[in-house]
Each structure stands twice: as structure tokens, then as C-alpha cells.
Amino acid sequence: MSIESQIIAAADGRSLPGFVAKATRGGTPICDVASGALALGGDAPMTSDAVFWMASMTKAITAAAAMQLVEDGEVGLDEALGPILPVLARVQVLDGFDAEGRPVLRAPRRPVTLAHLLTHTSGFGYSMWNADIGRYTEAAGTPDIGTGLDAALELPLMFDPGARWEYGVGIDLAGKVIEAISGETLDASFAKKIFAPLGMTSTGFRVTAAMAARQAGMTMRTPEGGLAPLTLPLNPEPEFWSGGGGLYGTAGDYLKFLNAILDGGKGQNGRILRPETVAWMLRHRIAPVALRSLTSVAPMLTRDLDIMGEGDEWGLSFLVSTQAGPHGRSVGSIAWAGLANTYYWADPATGTAGVLMSQLLPFADPAILGLFAAFERAVYVA
């Protein structure tokens, strides 16, 4: 049975939106599946070149752009970022709330560095997994990160930098650091230094007219387990481009990025990183700080964040497997996901990379996770 037929069989009987699953080995395509409708209830079929909101799959690309600056000596991984980005010079730690519900703040015990931002050890979090952030933003009148307003990044730290791991907006701040150092907007910087060398012609912060014609529709899982169409109130012209979750693109384009990582930073039109930089990104570790599950406080957006395997580590900026995975991936593989149930992995030991893209909320949908596992198994069996 082919990989494609195994994936279609795994999808059969599940309540799923349209999706695309693509995989390569050694840079050569070995799987290309487009299933279902481009938009729920529509007549147009899903296509292999459909455009998806990548959400947090953006983070790894932002990390690569940040590491280009490290390579060039423009910034150090362990350098205090306050002199570069004023918001990080004035950031404080949230130490709770007083009897009247007002935030209690104090100065951090150490400065925020690029390594902190890229590994989610900076102290920044997400309100969808941390109720105290939502309580703070309500008390302070801070807009939500989804508004795209600069004021949305005026958030406190949940702990001192380096003290623990918590998934959050830190890589949005890393995007701001890139802009401050390069003197370019993040979209311009990515287009020139990442997308052009890799041939990623259908990826960007703006959905062009050509991309919009093949953009997958967003859906939501209903309480009964079915699907319904959904429109997200995302700002098409934000004050800042979200390095943490703002990109739109295709599964094929993202595989070009993953294959560049697997090939030591080399893309089809040029190099984005040196091999030693890529190797460092893959082996960087945050121990003795440990990854931990996060409990959802926004069930319409996400289930609990609990997709890490036992002993998994965090690199710059990937989830790194320290043990062989149950579905085939090797020790040292990297992986992560996006809020709208988009997922990827890349395996340096075998040269294998896979991307599964859908547009469904809340995150960590069991049916999509089951499909992703079946997809991975089929790729490795082949």
C-alpha cells in the first residue's frame, strides 16, 4: 500500500477538514496528498499548493533569521537585549496581584537574551495557557496579541529569564530584535534572506491575490464533534509582523525550509545558514530547565499543550527528540506545530521531513493528531 493510500485510509471515518500531507526524503518528494475541500461546504477541492495560516510554524523561520544575525556578529545569543529593544529594557516580572486585583510587578533578576526568547525560557507566555496573563491584560488594558498592535507586546514576564520553560510570545520579540538590528521590516527581511534563497514563492505575512485564490478555509470543531466554518479576526495590516505566528504559506514551501535545515542551511537558490549554525540550533538544550505541559484556559482556541514526548528538549527553536519516536522518527529529530492544527517534523538521521496542514481550531485536535501519527508511520514504513 502506498504512503498516499495509507493516509487516505487513516483519514477515512474521521471528521476532518481538508488537509495537505507532504513528505520528502533526501529532498526528494515521497508523498503528496491533498484531501477534502479547500473550504468547508465549498465546491473547490483541496489542492497540493493550497495556502494555510502557518501560525507557530513561523517561529522556526524567525529563529533562522535571528541566527543569521548571530552568524554576522550583529548580536550574541547571551547578550542583554534591552539596549537593542527598549520594551525589553523596561520589562518587569509579574509577582501576583494585590487585594484590589492590581498587578504586583518587580524588576527581573537577569536581562532577557536572544537565547531566552528562542527557547521560551524568557518568562513571556500566552494568555491561552496562562490565566494570569489574561488577568494582567484586563487590568492593564493591554490589547491581545492577535490584534497585531505594538502595545500587545507590552507584557510582563511570568518568571525570571532562564528560570523555567513556558511557551509564549518571546519569538514575536525576537522578530522585533531582527527589525531593530537589520533596519528592515520582518516581511522584507524574510523575503530577501530566507524565502528567495529557498525558493519559497508562496509564503509571506500578506496573502497576495494569487495566494488568496487557493487559501484554505478555517474551521472549528463543534461540541458535538462536527465541523463548522470559522472566520478569525486577524488584522491584515498589523503594526508588527508576528515572528511568532504571522506567516501564510504552502506545505511545499515549508518543506523547502525543513530540507534546508536538514542540508546544513543550503537552499535551492543559496545558503541561509552555515552548517555549524544549523548544527547548533539542533543540539542546543535548555536543561536543567525542563519542558512541561500547559493547561488551556481558552478552550475555543486550544486544548492542553501536551504534545511533547518523554525527555524531549528545546533547541533554537525546535522541539528536539532525545529518544526514538513511537511512529518512526529518530533521536535528534525536530518538530513542532501551529495553532490551526498544522504540524511538521524533520529527521536528520534519515533525511526525512513531513508536513501536515489543516485549518482547524481548537489546537491539538485528536483526529488530526491521529492522522499525523498515521502519516508519520506510513512514511517510515515506506
The set of catalytic residues is 56, 59, 167
168: CB partners within 8 A, 6+ apart: 120, 122, 124, 125, 126, 130, 158
Size of the chain, expressed as the number of residues it contains? 382
- Reading the block at residue 290, the C-alpha cell is 525542563
223: CB partners within 8 A, 6+ apart: none
CA–CA gap between residue 267 and residue 269 (Å, rounded): 6
CA–CA gap between residue 378 and residue 79 (Å, rounded): 44
For 291, the 3-state DSSP assignment is: coil
CA–CA gap between residue 345 and residue 351 (Å, rounded): 11
The partner residues of 229 in beta bridges, in order of sequence, read 219
Q: DSSP assignment, residue 193?
A: I
Which ranges constitute the DSSP H helices of the chain? 3-11, 58-71, 86-89, 114-119, 131-140, 170-182, 186-190, 196-198, 209-212, 251-262, 275-283, 366-381
Best CA proximity match to 165, nearest among 125, 114, 112, 107:
125
CA–CA gap between residue 356 and residue 249 (Å, rounded): 12
Question: How many Å separate Cα 311 from the centre of its chain?
Answer: 20
The answer to whether 110 and 161 are in contact (CB under 8 A) is yes
